Structure 1
Amino acid sequence: MDRRAFGEHPNRPGGPPAGQGAEYTGRYVILLDPSNQESGLNALRSAADIAPVERVRGAESANVAGLLDRPDVSVHFENLAAAVVEVRPEQRHALVTTAEAENSILAAEPERIVYASQIMAPDRAPTAFLPSYRSDEEVVARLSKAEAATFQGPAWDEQKATWGLQAIRANISGMTGRGVKIAVLDTGVDTDHPDLVGCIEETASFVLGESVEDVFGHGTHCIGTTAGPAKPQQGPRYGVAPEARVLAGKVLGNNGRGTDGQILAGMDWAVARGARVISMSLGAPVQPGELFPQTYEIVALRALERGTVIVAAAGNEADRPGFVPPVGRPANCPSILAVGALDRGLRTAVFSCGGINGQGGEVDIAAPGVDVHSSVPGGGYARFMGTSMATPHVAGVLALLAQANPDASAAELRATLLAGAFPLPQPARDVGAGLVQAP
């Protein structure tokens, strides 16, 4: 095991090689040996005096948000063999030392804050901008007038289907994703949106004091791209898998922020509910050379074994052509598909992060992520951009593949997706296998 998996809190000497501006909660995420979970927890109780442990099983969701918000308990996700533990500052070093020595503990990492990977389109007033991501207005301001005039790329006829659906051939696919469960872990959903009421299978909020209703706007847009109807109330078709069933998990709050613990809770719930795909348009930046998070990687491996493919946004911190930072976390895990964004000309979007880091930090595949039309809260529509908008295109295609190949394992679905991508002239570090294609 790489000892860098056992990172100390950044306020202590010897902290992990975290990205600049990384935010931490003070808690730790622990990955346990599934066959010997209690041994690891007992070791932490004895040596680091962690807060009392409350167990959660994957299908449960009602009380999880409250447990994660309590400073007097640690939360054990039994089905994932993972725990989010509360520990006093003076005991953090003991926790890390114990984790390194205890064979039943596979990884221990500081819990981080994670953000929605969204860039608002200029025709929509932003509800919030997060420090790690920038607005489309800022992108356009850095382009010359000539570049700005061609920023949208060549014209696409969007009377019947969005340019994104045409580019990935979803609008002519014989598959609809019928019956396939897709979990979208995000800022929630507008449960009353007329286009989405028919596709929502189940909802759950893992954010204390907030219902699943989407105030930020991000989750509703991503869910629309994934599974919006073949015949929406207004405008062109914009949903990739219109007959898929959506599990809408709110893991990011109304301010677009969440924690590793909330995301793990959503992943646990989604896998237990039988999701074939988990779509996560969220992340946090990393530094060149930074190791992928062991916690997310191990959880993703366990999800694959249980039939679930996870896709995540590559991140929006780039300022191409001059600055291309690494794929963010958790998309930088080898077992999570990292999705880069393309503009209307099928060029790499100026904000899309690149495969700078190895060991999982590659871009795996690319999808439309600029000028993406989809649903927003209040029953309306808007165009957003970001690797967030590219990710649900890929999640929807995975649902189409799962319908076409119902007996395929998660690993086989993943391999089929990558093998079917349309090659692009850009380097693989920017677009991976190429443009995702519907079966």
Structure 2
Amino acid sequence: MSQPTGTETTGRYLVLLEDRSVAAGAVEMNRVAGISAASTADHPTAADLAAADGMIFQDLGVAVVDATPEQVARLSRAAESSGPISVVEAERVVQAYTTTGEPAAAVDEGVFTWGLQAVGANLCAATGRGVRLAVLDTGFTTAHADYASRTVVTQSFIKGETVDDAHGHGTHCVGSAAGPRKPAAGPGYGVAHEVEIYAGKVLSNAGFGSDSGILAGIEWAISNGCAVISMSLGAAVRPGTPYSQVFEQAATRALARGALIIAAAGNESRRPGSVNPVGHPANCPSILSVGAVDVDRAIAPFSCGTVDTIGQVDLVGPGVDVYSSWNKDDGAGMYKRIQGTSMATPHVAGVAALIAERYGARGWELWARLVQSGRRLGLPSTDVGGGLVQAP
């Protein structure tokens, strides 16, 4: 069994089933461990896992189950054989990646935010029209005036909470990726301002969630034909910690379905003193990992980096003093400036949507075109990967 190191766990377990063997995997879980799991094929919007011993995310081939130590041992032994059960992992607790904002250096944001200018979105003819982009986060403030004319498809995967965003993080991330160019007040702040928005609530109003909620959101986004899935969330890991095989396979299966997952690298670094490794699940090879830079194109002091052979930064985006939509009026209207790799990630996701529109690219082709867009910054690739993402 692959066990997370340096992270909190929920007490549940993720079970990766062999590709095209989901039905057989369900039968095998019941046979070897007496676990009876429901399936999203029968309950496509199920958020409550308590109805059965667990839930199978049909499109991803992943189950999340409640299991005793003896049941876990039996599942792990089955995973070591050549049957339909492939991997068993402890489920992690994840959280939103954000820190207190800092004022940006002097820059003209009279028309567009510095972030839009940095990635060249303000000069791009593409708008994201016709492309579906999912933001999996703390939900979305549907009452925000800037989105009154937009159709936003929403779904909550948090038990007992509606999709309405009482935290603010999700609304901010939706704004950076897909907000308006001519808002009610302030500068334009949305990279792909005509993209079709899908807002999935996988983190609670307190900013926390679990692997199963994320997987539920990924499956929902795939089933709705989203080309880009933006995830400004994760869990810290220690150097040398193996990446999740479950999330890696989920990501490759998503890519095969034409969906690119983009995730925040994490905020645990304290530069120049220490650099922490890319967190879970962004450290998976098939999830595009995003670090953060500031208005001077310097690496943000909190941005995690490549420290060993596990996990790497693929691109960076604007992540310091980022202005976007917020869930309430904190004295400056329903807008706020915050920072984190969480803020960089939706900038990259927005550019991915622009590329998807312009070239019709999906899956691995979209990954390749996105990474090739990076502008070199004269900084180590271990910090910035291919560089600062650029609109087509």
Which blocks of at least 5 consecutive residues in structure 2 are unaligned? Answer: none
Name the counterpart of 1:419: 372
CA positional deviation for 1:72: 4.4
Farther off after superposition, 304-313 or 95-104: 95-104
The size of the alignment, in residue pairs, is 388
Taking the aligned partners of 1:259 and 1:96, their CA distance within structure 2 comes to: 21
CA positional deviation for 1:33: 1.6
Taking the aligned partners of 2:316 and 2:128, their CA distance within structure 1 comes to: 20
Taking the aligned partners of 1:59 and 1:346, their CA distance within structure 2 comes to: 46
Are 2:158 and 2:202, in contact at CA under 8 Å, matched by a contact in 1? yes
- Tell me which of 345, 367, 374 is aligned to 1:391: 345
- Tell me which of 301, 315, 318 is aligned to 1:368: 318
| CA deviation vs aligned residue, 1:15-36 (integer Å, no higher than 9, x gap) | x3x332x111111111112322
Are 1:341 and 1:368, in contact at CA under 8 Å, matched by a contact in 2? yes
Farther off after superposition, 198-207 or 157-166: 198-207
**What is the 5 A alignment of 1:100-111?**
100-111=80-91
Taking the aligned partners of 1:273 and 1:218, their CA distance within structure 2 comes to: 23
* Amino acid across the alignment from 2:253: R
Name the counterpart of 1:244: 195
TM-score (normalised: structure 1): 0.86
Name the counterpart of 1:97: 77
Name the counterpart of 1:317: 268
Taking the aligned partners of 1:39 and 1:328, their CA distance within structure 2 comes to: 32
Which blocks of at least 5 consecutive residues in structure 1 are unaligned? Answer: 1-5, 8-15, 123-150
CA positional deviation for 1:198: 3.2
User: Secondary structure of 1:394's match?
Assistant: helix
- Tell me which of 55, 60, 85 is aligned to 2:44: 60
- Tell me which of 53, 61, 78 is aligned to 1:73: 53
Taking the aligned partners of 1:59 and 1:275, their CA distance within structure 2 comes to: 20
Taking the aligned partners of 1:292 and 1:197, their CA distance within structure 2 comes to: 40
TM-score (normalised: structure 2): 0.96
**Identical columns (%):** 49
Are 1:58 and 1:77, in contact at CA under 8 Å, matched by a contact in 2? no
Taking the aligned partners of 1:26 and 1:336, their CA distance within structure 2 comes to: 25
CA positional deviation for 1:59: 8.8
Taking the aligned partners of 1:337 and 1:84, their CA distance within structure 2 comes to: 24
1:40 partnered with 2:25: yes
User: Secondary structure of 1:362's match?
Assistant: coil
| CA deviation vs aligned residue, 1:287-328 (integer Å, no higher than 9, x gap) | 111111011110110111111111000000000011101000
Name the counterpart of 2:144: 193
Are 1:303 and 1:309, in contact at CA under 8 Å, matched by a contact in 2? yes
Taking the aligned partners of 1:216 and 1:272, their CA distance within structure 2 comes to: 26
* Amino acid across the alignment from 2:285: P
Name the counterpart of 1:274: 225
Taking the aligned partners of 2:41 and 2:173, their CA distance within structure 1 comes to: 27
**What is the 5 A alignment of 1:117-156?**
117-121=97-101, 152-153=104-105, 155-156=106-107
CA positional deviation for 1:100: 1.8
| CA deviation vs aligned residue, 1:79-125 (integer Å, no higher than 9, x gap) | 21111111123322222112222431222111111111111326xxx
Taking the aligned partners of 2:42 and 2:377, their CA distance within structure 1 comes to: 40
Taking the aligned partners of 1:31 and 1:90, their CA distance within structure 2 comes to: 18
Taking the aligned partners of 1:180 and 1:72, their CA distance within structure 2 comes to: 35
Taking the aligned partners of 1:72 and 1:248, their CA distance within structure 2 comes to: 26
User: Secondary structure of 1:374's match?
Assistant: strand
CA positional deviation for 1:60: 2.1
| CA deviation vs aligned residue, 1:383-423 (integer Å, no higher than 9, x gap) | 010000000000000010011012x2321111111111110
Name the counterpart of 1:235: 186
CA positional deviation for 1:42: 2.4
* Amino acid across the alignment from 2:200: G
Taking the aligned partners of 1:316 and 1:266, their CA distance within structure 2 comes to: 23
Are 1:58 and 1:269, in contact at CA under 8 Å, matched by a contact in 2? no
CA positional deviation for 1:196: 2.2
1:410 partnered with 2:363: yes
Name the counterpart of 1:19: 5
Are 1:202 and 1:248, in contact at CA under 8 Å, matched by a contact in 2? yes
* Amino acid across the alignment from 1:24: T
User: Secondary structure of 2:213's match?
Assistant: helix
In structure 2, the CA distance between the partners of 1:300 and 1:58, relative to structure 1 (3 Å rule), is: farther
Name the counterpart of 1:297: 248
User: Secondary structure of 2:145's match?
Assistant: coil
User: Secondary structure of 2:180's match?
Assistant: coil
Name the counterpart of 2:328: 378
CA positional deviation for 1:71: 7.2
* Amino acid across the alignment from 1:434: G
Taking the aligned partners of 2:344 and 2:229, their CA distance within structure 1 comes to: 14
User: Secondary structure of 2:117's match?
Assistant: helix
* Amino acid across the alignment from 2:304: C
Are 1:285 and 1:329, in contact at CA under 8 Å, matched by a contact in 2? yes
